Amino acid sequence: MEKMIDQQKLEETAKQIRRDIIAMLTEAGSGHPGGSLSATEIVTYLYFAEMQVDPQNPSWSDRDRFVLSKGHAAPVLYAALAGRGFFPREELLTIRKINRPLQGHPDMKKVPGVDMSTGSLGQGISAAVGMGLAGKLDKKAYRVFALLGDGEIEEGQVWEAAMAAAHYKLDNLIAFLDHNGLQIDGPVTEVMSPEPIEDKFRAFGWQVERVNGHSFTEIAAAVEAAKRVQDKPALIIADTVKGKGVSFMENQLGWHGNAPSKEQAEKALAELA
């Protein structure tokens, strides 16, 4: 059965999140716009159409969990959390400031709504596997969602986590792969190709779907399909565009970890108006 979603509202929310990402990183003068913008629809869908969370009670024991395994994309998570009401949107402009909670990578001790501190690539998905296993042991109904980068899956720890998730039949774990094709050192397939990604995850015992990572209808359908899977974890490979939504950032390697200048930000925000 197809899930009903408010396409227009999600698109408006995603556009606001992109504006917040640009504003945050311009204010900070550093950060990672490319992979934050590529993952915007994924994170928007999860926080505004899928996950059971309570901004008034961030540590609610029955909430769905989200782990940003590619922790450098913290701006997209912060923007979603602010939009969902976990903290005031004004706080976004304090990102990467000393003695403020919103640091360059998410900190679960300081930021309401962050379920796991991440940054060292490969560790987030391992934590998500642990959360899924805990849910099974505790007989809880919550789901665990994780977001990986395609460069991140070059890390061996990712495959140890993938093996464990299948071994323990974690059908409460749904992982997204932000497949934008670029990492800090160049095209993923040239740095250390993880292909064929679909075949590898299937061989590790996962259910695999592939979608346009900027299509809410495709994301929704893939999540619903993943929720019907029994006795195995699910991976949704989301084909995305690095820097999506800002013309001069799209598919440009240089925007992996560079903040826009004020002039560039004005141009980007005009496109996102």
Does residue 188 carry a pLDDT above 70? Answer: yes
Q: Does residue 60 sit within a domain?
A: yes
**Could you give the number of structural domains in the chain?**
1
Residue 51 lies in a domain: yes
Could you list the residue range(s) of the whole structural domain that residue 45 is in? 7-271
Q: Which three-class secondary structure state does DSSP give residue 187?
A: strand
How many Å apart are CA 216 and CA 41, to the nearest integer?
7
- Rounded Cα gap, residues 130 and 42, in angstroms: 22
CATH number of the domain bearing residue 213? 3.40.50.970
Over the chain, what is the mean pLDDT? Answer: 97
Of 171, 145, 117, 178, the closest CA to residue 46 belongs to: 145
What one-character-per-residue DSSP string does 13-72 give?
HHHHHHHHHHHHHHHHT-S-HHHHHHTHHHHHHIIIII----TT-TT-TTS-EEEESSGG
d(CA 137, CA 264): 50
What mean pLDDT is predicted for residues 98-103?
97
The 8-class DSSP code of residue 261 comes to P
User: pLDDT per residue over 22-71, tens digit each?
Assistant: 999 999 999 999 999 999 999 999 999 999 999 999 999 999 999 999 99
Asked whether residue 1 is assigned to any structural domain, the reply reads no
pTM: 0.97
Do residues 47 and 126 lie in contact, with contact meaning Cβ atoms separated by under 8 Å?
A: no
